[in-house]
A and B are shown apart, each in its own frame.
Chain A
Amino acid sequence: SQQGEEDPQALSIQEGENATMNCSYKTSINNLQWYRQNSGRGLVHLILIRSNEREKHSGRLRVTLDTSKKSSSLLITASRAADTASYFCATFGGTSYGKLTFGQGTILTVHP
C-alpha cells in the first residue's frame, strides 16, 4: 500500500499566491522528505524534516510535520510560474538500504 498520499492531486493558483500541499502516511517514520519534479525530468530533493522536528524552513518553503496525525504539509509562499511542477512527499522508514516510499504527488500549476 502507498505510504505517502498527497492532497490535493492537483492545485492551480496565480503567481504571488501561496500553495499548500498535504501528505499523509501510515507507518512510523525516521524522517519525511519533499521532492520536486519538473515535467519529464528527474526528482530534485527540496527539504527533509526529521521525526522529532515540527517545522522547517528553506527559502520560500515551509514544511510542517505532525507525527501524531501522521501528516505533513509543504507551503510555498509567494509562488512563481517557475514553481510549476509535481511535488512528492517521501518517507524513510530507517531500513539499512535507505528505501524511500513516495506518494502519488501533487501537480502544482502557477499561472503568470
Chain B
Amino acid sequence: SQTIHQWPATLVQPVGSPLSLECTVEGTSNPNLYWYRQAAGRGLQLLFYSVGIGQISSEVPQNLSASRPQDRQFILSSKKLLLSDSGFYLCAWRTRLSGNTIYFGEGSWLTVV
C-alpha cells in the first residue's frame, strides 16, 4: 500500500533562517506531488506541484521554493524565512490509479519567530 511521510512534524525557526521540509511517498511510482499551506486551520492553498523529477510549477509567488530530486521525494525550501511563512504545510500525492483523489501526509507545523 502507498504511504506518505513528511518531516519534521513541528519546527520553530527564527526569521531569516533557512527551511527544508521533506516528503517521500512509498508504494507507488511517478506520482504527482503537491505542497499545500494551511493558515489558521482554514482552507488550503496550493503552493507547488510536480508531475515528474525536476518538474516544478508554482501556483503563487512567495518566499518558498520546491524541488523534486527523486521520483518520490518532494522538498519545500526557503533561504530566508519570513514571519508570514508560519503555517501548517501539507504534502500530498496522486497517481492515475488514484484517479482524482489526492492523499495527504500528516503535515508539518512551522512557526517563524
Contacts and interface: CB of A to CB of B under 8 A. Distances in A.
A97 B49 contact: yes
Nearest to B101: A45
Contacts of B41: 39, 86, 105, 107
Contacts of A44: 104
Given A88-B43, A102-B44, A40 B100 contact: no
A31 interface: yes
B100 A105 contact: no
A41 interface: yes
Nearest to B31: A98
A97 B103 contact: no
A100 B104 contact: no
A107 B88 CA distance: 17
B106 A41 contact: yes
Nearest to B42: A104
A30 interface: yes
Interface residues of A, number: 28
Contacts of A30: 100
Contacts of B70: none
Interface string B73-113: 00000000000000010101010000111111111010000
B51 A97 contact: yes
Closest 3 CB pairs of A and B: A42-B104, A104-B43, A102-B44
17 contacts: A2-B43, A31-B100, A39-B41, A40-B109, A41-B106, A42-B6, A42-B90, A42-B106, A43-B44, A43-B92, A45-B103, A48-B101, A99-B59, A100-B46, A102-B36, A102-B43, A102-B44
Interface of A: 2, 30-31, 33, 35, 39-45, 48, 86, 88, 90, 92, 96-105, 107
Interface of B: 6, 32, 36, 41-44, 46, 49, 51, 57, 59, 88, 90, 92, 94, 99-107, 109
